[in-house]
Chain A
Amino acid sequence: MIKIENLSVAFDGPEVVKNVTLELKDGEILGVVGESGSGKSVTALTLMGLVADTAEITSGRIVFDDVVLREAGKPIDKALYRKYQGAEMSMVFQEPMTSLNPTVRVGRQVEEMLRLHTDFSNEKIREKVLETFEAVGLKDAETVYASYPHQLSGGMRQRVMIAMAVILHPDLVVCDEPTTALDVTIQNQIIELLRTINTKEQNSMLFITHDLNLARRICHRIAVMKDGRVVELGKTEDIFEHPEETYTRELIEAVPSRLKRRTSVFQGKYPAEEEECCPGRSEESLGEEEAVGGVEGQAFPPVVEVRDLSVFYQDGSNSLFSRKKRHAAVQGADFSIYRGESLGLVGESGCGKTTLSRAILGMNRDITGEIRHTTVRPQMIFQDPYSSLNPAKTIGWLLQEPLRAAAALDKSRAMSREDMEAAAYDMLRRVGMEETYFHRRPSQLSGGQRQRVSIGQALITNPGLVVADEPVSALDVTIQAQIMELMQKLQQEMQLSYLFISHDINVVYKMCDRIMVMKDGEIIEIGETQELFDNPKQEYTKKLLASH
């Protein structure tokens, strides 16, 4: 039985964990859910005795089976902790690549646990490691034993980490976002594995995550943390069915699967182009489209038409002498994006999503085929809000820069200084931010606010088409929902078209009118969202949908 009693932790003054009380019974999985900065990781690290030395315990204590491990006002007893760390309590980290030593074979790394805490013979140690590898589902244990971390996949590395954590049968396993760095299909397997281990070993698990849905699948009880406090604690189903706190409700509702589904702009009147992804379209339909392409009054004129597009990239060394190789990252792409629609683009990492979007934006010029735009200068919203705004400029300057650039390119679009400033203020309001932010710099903004400014910057010239590359995946869940709502609102107001790239099927389902599935550089399926979800034609699409 592990007890965290009234724990407060401070770094240089401000407390980041405030009066947290948690109890872990044997055989229980307790989820700690919260957004970034909620103090969940600091709580776990303090429990493990791994928190930085600058952290100060300002109140409370940590009790492990009636032994006080840590108490307010007393310095950390490192010798005591060392007895517990590894043997009685262990941790699985988020990033399996950086938590394993890249220069040591993984078998050796796992062995070290036994060498430190037991006096087994060498044979026994090896046997035990192989046995544990098999227990965590590493099939070819001998081969894994002799491998270096880089030779293993992400899922296998995480299994090795878990093996290392459970090999001494500790009473407590702390899992800090153990599946966040993994692909969705692997995520499921790891969750299953952790649950199996918990049932078999009857140990306590502290499962830290930002993903409420994930916590629901594995935890017996859930603690919701916000700003360093536990705001709600209860049985998993109680929390989901009768959330008492507003914040918990927000968190549950913010999960994209609960976001209100967008009503399709097409409403069944989707332009006849079902055969898009297949080569050899009939000549008539092509001709017809060209004819109506620019006609006003057409319900859904295309904003961009892509015909038999292949995109290439140069491979290899940055050498003066060796000839560079040319690879096709996208092959034979053929589709259109219509005015006012959101076209989702899904696929695994490395399938060519980003390459395709960059080609459409003209950022990748090495192409064959045709891209026909009817709008000027489509814009892009990037995934990482921290690198998509120039840190040296103010928000006001950033919002005006697209107007200045447009004016420099086309004298007829020149605006007076006052008009530009007014437009920037107007955009700031439309993306839901207060005017006081006008003179601030990006470093003073949160991730969500930065993404709002990015959206404002992309839309201020009214570009018609916006490519959004994973625009919400770097954000906290409650913020995700806000940003998606904002994007939908602006889409309606400005008759925008989105090419919406995401790995999250739920997000795409809510945001998009049509979905395009890519695999290995080819578009294998394209269709209206509901249609595609109900009747996926390709095996791959089925697999992709099933993993959610």
Chain B
Amino acid sequence: MRKPGSGKWNKYLTAGLIMTGIALLLGILGLFWTPYSTTAMSASEKFDAPSLRHIFGTDNFGRDIFSRVMKGLSTTIVIGSLVVAFSASAGILLGALTGYFGGLVDEIVMRVTDAVNGFPSILLALVLISLLGNGRQNVILALGIVFIPSYVRIVRSEFIRLRDADYIGRARLMGVCRIRILFVHILPNIFSVFWVSVMIGFNNAILAESGMSYLGIGVQPPDASLGKMLSDAQGYLQNAPWYALAPGLTIVWVVLGFSLFSEGIRRRV
């Protein structure tokens, strides 16, 4: 976290931390252990309503929905984190270089990001997936590329703002080399702004991943995914509403928790 004492604790932060904490805990736990196997089917337990035995109920194959939500959550969190890591690092690199140096490279990069921004992001991801093929890595790559421009813009504008700061001028006078100015002198100062956009980006990545899985072009079975579960549950909405509610509400929970958390951070800065 940021340096202590830079702001006040607030309720957004508390609520966000609790909600995100629970989701993260379940997701990380889901990587190693689930109450039931996510693939174990049971013909006798089809469409069981939520009970103590299966707290989120069971699905059309008699699989435990809670276990599958945990597994789906871990898939979502892992993919979300990797997408953010990929797009944010690329965004920092491109934004830092274009913002600090400006000039022709800046013009070219900015026009490309404009072009990328021109497409609806999910559509562009679809195109990339259809070129790259299905699968976990390709989903990460596609979403990662789609989200780069938003980070480039933020990092670039911050670097433009800070490159003329007096303390950067003084660093130049001391003879500090450019790379060090970029990443040691300027970069730490943009984190307060950047952190918030990473949070929002994480939310967008989660929603995009769920959307793609829902459309059947994301993670493939037998991997559990919240979006895929939603689309599977669609046919049983009347008989087994819990089947759709569980993954749906989980997505809402995670996104809301992260939104509150990022809002809390923003207010603290």
Interface residue ranges, A against B (CB under 8 Å): 320, 361-363, 377-380, 382, 384, 387-393, 401-402, 404-406, 408-409, 441, 454, 457-458, 461
Contact = CB atoms under 8 A, between A and B. Distances in A.
B174 A401 contact: yes
Contacts of A380: 169-170, 173
A320 to B, nearest CB: 7
Given A377-B174, A390-B168, A461-B174, 9 more contacts: A379-B170, A379-B174, A380-B169, A380-B173, A382-B169, A388-B167, A392-B188, A401-B174, A402-B174
A380 B167 CA distance: 10
A393 B170 CA distance: 14
Q: Shortest 8 CB-CB distances between A and B: which pairs?
A: A392-B188, A388-B166, A382-B166, A405-B176, A405-B174, A402-B174, A390-B167, A387-B166
B177 interface: yes
12 contacts: A380-B173, A387-B165, A387-B166, A388-B170, A390-B167, A393-B188, A404-B176, A405-B174, A405-B175, A406-B175, A408-B176, A408-B177
A401 B107 CA distance: 33
A387 B167 contact: yes
A471 to B, nearest CB: 12
A377 B170 CA distance: 11
Contact of A390 (B3, B175, B185): B185
A362 to B, nearest CB: 8
Nearest to A362: B173
Interface of B: 3, 107, 165-177, 180, 185, 188-189
A363 B174 contact: no
Nearest to A387: B166
A409 B170 contact: no
Given A382-B170, A390-B167, A377 B189 contact: no
Contacts of A378: 173
A489 B210 CA distance: 67
Given A391-B189, A392-B188, A377 B175 contact: yes
B174 A406 contact: yes
A389 B167 CA distance: 5
B81 to A, nearest CB: 25
B170 A392 contact: no
Contacts of B185: 390
B173 A401 contact: no
B173 A377 contact: yes
A23 B176 CA distance: 57
A321 to B, nearest CB: 11
Contact of A392 (B174, B175, B177, B189): B189
Among B107, B171, B173, B189, max chain A CB count under 10 A is at B173
Contacts of A320: 107
Nearest to A442: B167
A313 to B, nearest CB: 14
B138 to A, nearest CB: 36
A454 B173 CA distance: 13
B177 A390 contact: no
Contacts of A377: 173-175
A362 B172 CA distance: 10
Contacts of B171: 390, 401, 405
Contacts of B168: 390
Nearest to A404: B176
A389 B180 CA distance: 16
Given A320-B107, A392-B188, A363 B173 contact: yes
Contact of B173 (A361, A387, A391): A361
